[in-house]
Amino acid sequence: MSILEVNHIRKNFGETEVLKDISFSMEEGQAVSIIGSSGSGKTTLLRCLNFLETPDEGTIKVRDEVLFDGAKKENPSEAQLRQRRLHFGLVFQQFNLFPQYTALENVCLAPQLALKEKNEAQQKKITEMGEELLERMGLSDRMGNYPHQLSGGQQQRVAIARALALQPDILCFDEPTSALDPELTGEVLKVIRSLAEHHTTMIIVTHEMTFARDVSDRVIFMDGGRIEEQGTPDEVFGHPKSERTKRFLAGY
């Protein structure tokens, strides 16, 4: 059973067709990289998976549970939407940390709010989990800092810890290093690499080709709202079949 199955997803913004019939699936513990030129619809696809956008057609299934079916014209309630979103995590290009909270508070806020009844033991458990996550991100000495006191790379690592805190089935990254100075990308990529080594299920949209090749189990090349080619890193990077893929990769 695939952990994620995406079938025939379409999305229009007004007249523009941004996603045209996207289908793919992935297995638990896999890291899938999505590459493709600017405007090919990578961000839109991640936003559809996280229910920040509603696809016009298609289905999204997680562990055989249908989370979205475009054929059923349903209007999910806010609570239903929230339930579905929790299957996915999203790390944004621009981090989007909450400025008024420390690194640790950023990580713990959502889990704390999700508690049915707030007792001290539970709160303490969440704090401990938050500390552990930040430690894994190499930020043990930065837990009490506010976002503006952190470098971009540190902020992005806090954002990764924040997403992990909710234990999503699938963690999505939208160009996690694109907003960073070149000398800071390494520390973020290192963290993502270690997540891959621990078999965290991930979808990574990235322009870091070497990284995508190294880290992922599968690679998807998107072009003009379609999946032009997909396969193992070796297939896509080493022996691309499509002319467009070849031309795109030649640019790197």
Partner 1 sequence: MFWTVTLSLLEGFLTTVKLFALTLLFSLPLGLVMSLGSMSKIKVLRYPIVFLIWVMRGTPLLLQLLIIYYGPGILFHTNVWGSGDGGRFTAALVAFVVNYACYFSEIYRGGIQSIPVGQYEAGKVLGMTNGQIFRKVILLQVIKRIVPPMANEIITLVKDTSLARVIAVYEIIWSGQAFIKSDGIIWPLFYTGAFYLIFSGLLTLLFRYLEKRLDYFR
Ligand X SMILES: Nc1ncnc2c1ncn2[C@@H]1O[C@H](COP(=O)(O)OP(=O)(O)OP(=O)(O)O)[C@@H](O)[C@H]1O
* Least distance to partner 1, CB of residue 232, Å: 29
104 neighbors 131 (Cβ within 8 angstroms): yes
* Least distance to ligand X, CB of residue 197, Å: 27
* Alpha carbons 129 and 48: distance in angstroms, whole number: 29
* Least distance to ligand X, CB of residue 189, Å: 18
Strand partners, 171: 89, 202
When asked if residue 40 is in the footprint of ligand X (CB under 6 A), the reply is yes
When asked if residue 15 is in the footprint of ligand X (CB under 6 A), the reply is no
* Least distance to partner 1, CB of residue 122, Å: 16
When asked if residue 100 is in the footprint of partner 1 (CB under 8 A), the reply is yes
Strand partners, 26: 4
Indicate the residue among 97 and 192 with the shorter CB distance to partner 1. 97
* Alpha carbons 121 and 133: distance in angstroms, whole number: 18
Q: At what angle do helices 152-164 and 103-114 cross, to 10 degrees?
A: 20
H helix or E strand, kind and range, residue 114: helix 103-114
When asked if residue 78 is in the footprint of partner 1 (CB under 8 A), the reply is yes
**Binding marks (x or -) toward Mg ion, 26..55, rule CB under 5 A?**
-----------------x------------
Residue 145 carries which DSSP code? -
When asked if residue 102 is in the footprint of Mg ion (CB under 5 A), the reply is no
When asked if residue 173 is in the footprint of partner 1 (CB under 8 A), the reply is no
